[in-house]
Chains A and B, each alone.
Chain A
Amino acid sequence: MASNNPAAIQTRELSKRYRRVTALSEATITVPEGRISALIGQNGAGKTTLLRLLAGLARPTGGEVAVLGSPLSQAPAFLADIGFLAQEIPLYRRLSAEDHIFAGAHLNSRWDGAAARQRLESLGIPLDQRVGTLSGGQRAQLALALTLAKRPRLLLLDEPVAALDPLARRQFLAHLAEAVADGGLTVVLSSHLVADLERTCDHLILLAASRVELCGDIDALLAEHQLLVGPRKDTTAIERDHTLVQAVRTARQTTLLIRRNGPVVDPAFETADVGLEELVLGYMGQQAGPGPAHLTAIGEDQ
C-alpha cells in the first residue's frame, strides 16, 4: 500500500452517544483504499453504528472522520461515492426491482442499471415482481445489486450475507472480491460469520462493547498474535512481557492468546499460529468472560 494514498476511511476518536447508551466510543480506525475490511463484533458492539456514521446517516457526537478524504456530508457529491446497505434491507415493497433500478437512475449521476439488471437476471430474480413478494435472499441480492449499480468508491455493507444461503453467500463474496480487484473500490462489511470473511477480507476491524479492539491488516494482526499452550498455571512472566488477550485455564493445561512483544522464550509453552476465528473469539472472550457464552455469539444468525 502506498502510504501517500489517502485512506478510504480515517477516524479519530469517533464517538456516538444516544441519550443513555454509548454506541461507539472513541473509535480510531484506518482503512486503506482497495481493501475489503471485515467489521466483526457481537450484537450491540457498535458495528451498525459505525457503518451508519460512515454513510452519513447518523451524526457523530464526538471525534473526527474523513471518508474518501472528505468530512461527512449530505451533499450529492459525497453520497455518490458511498454505497450503503442497511441490515434490514430497506426497499420499497410495492415497487418492482425494475422500478428500483429506474429510481436509482433518477437519483444518481453515476448509475450502472444494465449491470444490476444483468446480475439479477443471472440470479433468476424477477425484475417485474413487487419486491414485497420476493424471498429474503432475493431481496438481499437486489439490494446488493442496487448498491453496486451506484458504482461507489466505498461500499459499506451491514450484514450483507445474513439473508443468503451458503452458496449465494460464497458467490456474492467472490463477486465483491472481483469488484475490488478491478480497482477503485474499498469495502467494509460486517458479519457474524468469521469463516466467510476469512476467505474474502484482508483487513479487520474488531469491535467489542462499543470500542475498537483491533484494526489493521489481517495477516499482520495474525502474525502479531500467538497461541501458547502449556501446563503451567503461573503466567505472570508472560503477562509482563506480552499483552495477554485471553487465558483459558483448565486443571491440566493453560491456553493463552497473546499479542507478542518480541519472541516467546518460555520452553514450558508450545506456540501455535493464530487463525482469524481464534483471534476474534479470543478478543470477544476477553470481553464476555470465560465460558461458552461467546461461542454462541459467533455464527449466530439474527
Chain B
Amino acid sequence: MTWLVWRQYRNQAYFAAAAIVVFAVVLLITGRQMASQYHSALSLCSASHHCGNLANTLVLGTPLLSVLVSLTVAAPCLLGIFWGGPLVAREFEVGTNQFAWTQGISRRRWLTVKAGWALLAAAAWGGAVSALVTWWSSPVNAIKHQNFQPAQFDIQGIVPVGYAVFAVALGIAVGTLLRRTLPAMAITLVVFTFVRLVVGQDFRSRYLTAVTETFGFLHRTGHHLAVPTGSYWLVSQGLVGPRGLVPTSQPNGSGVSVGSHGVSIPLSNMPSACRALIFRNPRGIFPCLTAHGYRGLFVTYQPADRYWAFQGIETGIFVLLAAVLLAVTAIVVLRRDA
C-alpha cells in the first residue's frame, strides 16, 4: 500500500520538497545576514553608552521578507486543502476506491497507510517551515519580544505542526463525508479558518490564568514597578476604576492616548471632565482621574515564560481535534458503502 501511496502522490511530494528547499535557501541566506546584523549592533551597543532601544533603531530584514514569513500562517491550511481534501474524496469521485477495496487488503489498512503518510508528511513539512521561520525570527524575537503575539505565535515553535496535522485530518474527514473533492477543499478552508480564529481569539488567552498587575498613577521614581518584561503577551490593559477594572476596549486603541508605565489609555475611556484637560493641562489628567475615583492602571498578560506551555497546549488541542476527525473518518470508511 505504501508503494501505491508513493506512486499516487510522489509528484506532490516532489513539489512540496522543492518548495521547502527554495524557502529554506531564502531564509537561510537572509537569516544569516539578519543574525550578523543583530550581533554587530549588539556589540556596538555594549561598547557605547548611549545605546537606546534596539527595537526602535535596528531594522532587520525587508518588508517583503516579513510578509513572506507571515504568509506561512497559511501553509497548514494549504496542506489541508490540497493534501487532505482530495485524499479520500478523489478516490470516491473517480471510483478508484472500488479498485483498492477489492484488492487483498482491508479498508482499515488502506486508510491507515494513506492517512498515515499524509499526516506524517504534513507534520514534517509544517515542522520544517516552522523551524525555519523560528530560526529566522530569532534576532527579531530577541529585540522586539513579539513571539508570543498571535501573528508570531501562530507561525513559530511547534503549533504549526499541530495546525498542519489538524488541517490534513480535517480535509480527509470532510472529503470522506462529502465524497467530492472541490466541496471538500472549500469546506476544509472555511472550517480550518474558523476553528483557528475561534481557538486563537477566544480560548488561547485562557489556557492559563492571566497575570494582572495594578499600579498607581505618577509613581515615577524610586518605586519598583511590576511592568511585565520580555516576550509577554498582553491580554488587556486599562484603568483601575472605582468599580473595578476598566479595560481599554482595544489594547492598541486608536485616537489620542495618554500613557504611563507603558500602559496607554485612550481618552475615550476617561470621564469627560478629565478628557477635556488634554488641551489645557495634560499633567492634570492623572490627578483628575484620581479625583474621580480611579486608582491606577493595570495590565493583564501572559508572562513570557509561559510561551512553550502555550505552544504545547495549543498543539495538543489541534492534535486532539485531528484524532477525533480521523476516528470519524475511520468509522465512515469501514461502515459506509463504496
Contact = CB atoms under 8 A, between A and B. Distances in A.
Interface string B1-30: 111100110000000000000000000000
A216 interface: no
Contacts of A59: 335, 337
A47 interface: no
B94 interface: yes
Contacts of A104: 103
Contacts of A94: 8
B338 interface: yes
Contacts, number: 80
Contacts of A86: 95, 98-99
B207 interface: no
A142 B26 CA distance: 47
A91 interface: yes
A232 interface: no
Nearest to B109: A76
B1 A79 contact: no
A6 interface: no
A107 B103 contact: yes
A74 B337 CA distance: 12
B338 A107 contact: no
Given A52-B338, A57-B338, A86-B95, A79 B8 contact: no
Interface residues of A, number: 33
B102 A57 contact: yes
B169 to A, nearest CB: 22
B64 interface: no
Contact of B94 (A57, A93, A106, A146): A93
B102 A56 contact: yes
Contacts of A79: 101-106
Nearest to B4: A103
A56 B97 CA distance: 12
A235 interface: no
A107 B4 contact: yes
Contacts of B103: 79, 103-104, 107-108, 150
Given A90-B98, A95-B7, A76 B338 contact: no
B107 interface: yes
The 5 closest A-B pairs by CB, nearest first: A90-B95, A107-B103, A57-B338, A108-B104, A58-B337
Interface of B: 1-4, 7-8, 94-109, 334-335, 337-338
Given A59-B335, A76-B104, 20 more contacts: A57-B101, A58-B337, A59-B337, A79-B102, A79-B103, A83-B102, A90-B94, A91-B99, A92-B96, A92-B99, A93-B94, A95-B7, A99-B7, A102-B7, A103-B7, A104-B103, A107-B103, A107-B104, A108-B105, A146-B99
